[in-house]
C-alpha cells in the first residue's frame, strides 16, 4: 500500500485541495477475520435478549398423572403440561439471555483502523474542507450533499438502481393508464399505445432521492459533536452523523460511503499516534526527570 491522494471538496462541490495519507499508517494489513469478529460482536451486543416463552413449569395445570399407566387401552400419559397437549408448555422454552460479549480492547482499536484503511483503499471516503452551521438548517446540508454528489459523481452510483426502478414504474403506469382509458371509452375499443418509456439516462435522479432508498447509505464524520449539524442531518433519510471519537469498525463498515471533514481525519490519525505511544514498552519510553 502506497500513499493515496484524496481530493478535498468544499460545500459547493469544488475541489480545493488534496489530502495525502498512507493506509499502512492506519493499519499495516487488512484482516477480514478480525473485521468479521468485530462486526459480529457489535451486532450481537445490539440484541435485547428479552424473548421468553412458557415451559412446562410456567403454564397452569396439575402435575398429577392423567390416568393410570396400564389397563385403559390408551397410550400412556403423564402431566397435562406436556408440550403435546393443548395449553401445555414449550419443549425448549426460550429464556431471557444476555448475548453481549467484548473482544479485547486492542483488537477493537485495530479493527477500527483496518476498517477505515479499507474504505480509503476502496475509494469510499470523501473529504470536505470544513462543515459548520450557525443554526440547524437541513436545506443547507441537503444542497451541500447534492452539490458534492452531482459534481464529483461519487454518490450517483447509489441512484442508478433508483433510475431503473422509476423507468420501469413509469412504463407500467403508462400501460395501466392506457388500459383504463380503453375501458372507460366503451364503444371505442381501439388500442391506445402507452407513453414512451423514458430511459434511465434521461431521468435526472437527485442524490437525496437515491440515498433515502438505501438505509445507512452515508455517514458524515465530524471532529466533535455539534448540535446544529446533528439536527440538520437527522431529517435526511439514509444519512447519519457521528463524531470521530465514537467511530468503530461497525459504524465505519455499515454505510455505503463516508463523508469526513479534514479535521476529523486528522483527529483520527492523532488518536492512532497516541495509542501507539501508549503501547510502547517501558524501555522505549523516555525517562521522566524527578524533582
Does residue 256 contact residue 214 with C-beta atoms inside 8 Å?
yes
Give the domain range for residue 71: 52-95
Which of residues 16 and 162 earns the better pLDDT score? 16
Q: How confident is the model at residue 246 (pLDDT cuts 50, 70, 90)?
A: very high
Determine the average pLDDT of the residues in 246-271. Answer: 92
As given in the structure block, the three cell numbers for residue 230 are 446533528
CA gap 279, 63 in Å, rounded = 62
Q: Are residues 35 and 124 located together in one domain of the fold?
A: yes
**Judgement on whether residues 239 and 142 belong to the same structural domain of the protein:** yes
38 or 157, greater pLDDT: 38
Q: 289 — phi, psi (to 5°)?
A: -70, 140
Confidence of residue 155 (pLDDT cuts 50, 70, 90): low
Question: 174-188 burial string, b = 16+ CB within 10 Å, else e?
Answer: beeeeeeeeeeeeee
Same domain, 228 and 146: yes
Give domain status of residue 170, yes or no.
no
Percent of all residues in the chain with a pLDDT value above 90, rounded to a whole number:
52
Residue 133 falls within a domain, yes or no? Answer: yes
Q: Which of 95, 130, 149 is the last residue of a domain?
A: 95
DSSP code for 20: E
Q: Is residue 169 part of a domain?
A: no
> Does the pLDDT at position 184 exceed 60?
yes
**For residues 189-204, average pLDDT:** 49
Counting the structural domains of the chain, the total is 2
The lowest-confidence range among 121-130, 180-189, 190-199 is: 190-199
pLDDT at 82: 92
User: Is residue 61 in a domain?
Assistant: yes
Domain match, 231 and 220 both: yes
CATH number of 24's domain = 3.40.1370.10
Quick check: is 198 in a domain?
no
**Residues 255 and 134 reside in one and the same domain:** yes
Q: Is the pLDDT of residue 163 over 80?
A: no
Same structural domain, 148 and 211:
yes
110-136 per-position pLDDT tens digit: 999 999 999 999 988 999 998 888 999
**pTM tops 0.85:** no
Task: Mark whether 125 and 59 lie in a shared domain.
Answer: no
Instruction: For residue 196, tell me if it sits in a domain.
Output: no
- Report pLDDT digits (tens) over 9-68: 988 888 899 999 999 999 999 999 999 999 999 999 999 999 999 999 999 999 899 999
Which of 98-107, 108-117, 213-222, 244-253 is predicted with the least confidence, judged by mean pLDDT?
213-222
Under 8 Å between Cβ of 128 and 261: yes
Average pLDDT over residues 265-271: 93
Amino acid at each position: 500500500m502506497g500513499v493515496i491522494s484524496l481530493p478535498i471538496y468544499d460545500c459547493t462541490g469544488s475541489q480545493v485541495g488534496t489530502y495525502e495519507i498512507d493506509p499502512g499508517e492506519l493499519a499495516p494489513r487488512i484482516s477480514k477475520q478480525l473485521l468479521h469478529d468485530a462486526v459480529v460482536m457489535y451486532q450481537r451486543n445490539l440484541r435485547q435478549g428479552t424473548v421468553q416463552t412458557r415451559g412446562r413449569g410456567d403454564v397452569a395445570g396439575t402435575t398429577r398423572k392423567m390416568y393410570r399407566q396400564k389397563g385403559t387401552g390408551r397410550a400412556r400419559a403423564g402431566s397435562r403440561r406436556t408440550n403435546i397437549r393443548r395449553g401445555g408448555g414449550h419443549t425448549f422454552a426460550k429464556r431471557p439471555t444476555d448475548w453481549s460479549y467484548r473482544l479485547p480492547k486492542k483488537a477493537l482499536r485495530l479493527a477500527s483502523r483496518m476498517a477505515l484503511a479499507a474504505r480509503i483503499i476502496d475509494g469510499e471516503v470523501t473529504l470536505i474542507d470544513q462543515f459548520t452551521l450557525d443554526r440547524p438548517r437541513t436545506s443547507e446540508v441537503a444542497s451541500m450533499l447534492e452539490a458534492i454528489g452531482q459534481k464529483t459523481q461519487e454518490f450517483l452510483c447509489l441512484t442508478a438502481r433508483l433510475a431503473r426502478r422509476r423507468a420501469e414504474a413509469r412504463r407500467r403506469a403508462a400501460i395501466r393508464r392506457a388500459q383504463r382509458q380503453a375501458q372507460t371509452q366503451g364503444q371505442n375499443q381501439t388500442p391506445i399505445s402507452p407513453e414512451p418509456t423514458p430511459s434511465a439516462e434521461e431521468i435526472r435522479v437527485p442524490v437525496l432521492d437515491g440515498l433515502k432508498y438505501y438505509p445507512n447509505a452515508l455517514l458524515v464524520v465530524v471532529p466533535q459533536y455539534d448540535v446544529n449539524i446533528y439536527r440538520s442531518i437527522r431529517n435526511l433519510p439514509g444519512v447519519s452523523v457521528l463524531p470521530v471519537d465514537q467511530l468503530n469498525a461497525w459504524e465505519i463498515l455499515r454505510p455505503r460511503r463516508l463523508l469526513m471533514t479534514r479535521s476529523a481525519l486528522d483527529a483520527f490519525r492523532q488518536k492512532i499516534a497516541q495509542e501507539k505511544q501508549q503501547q510502547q514498552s517501558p524501555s522505549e519510553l523516555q525517562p521522566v526527570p524527578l524533582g
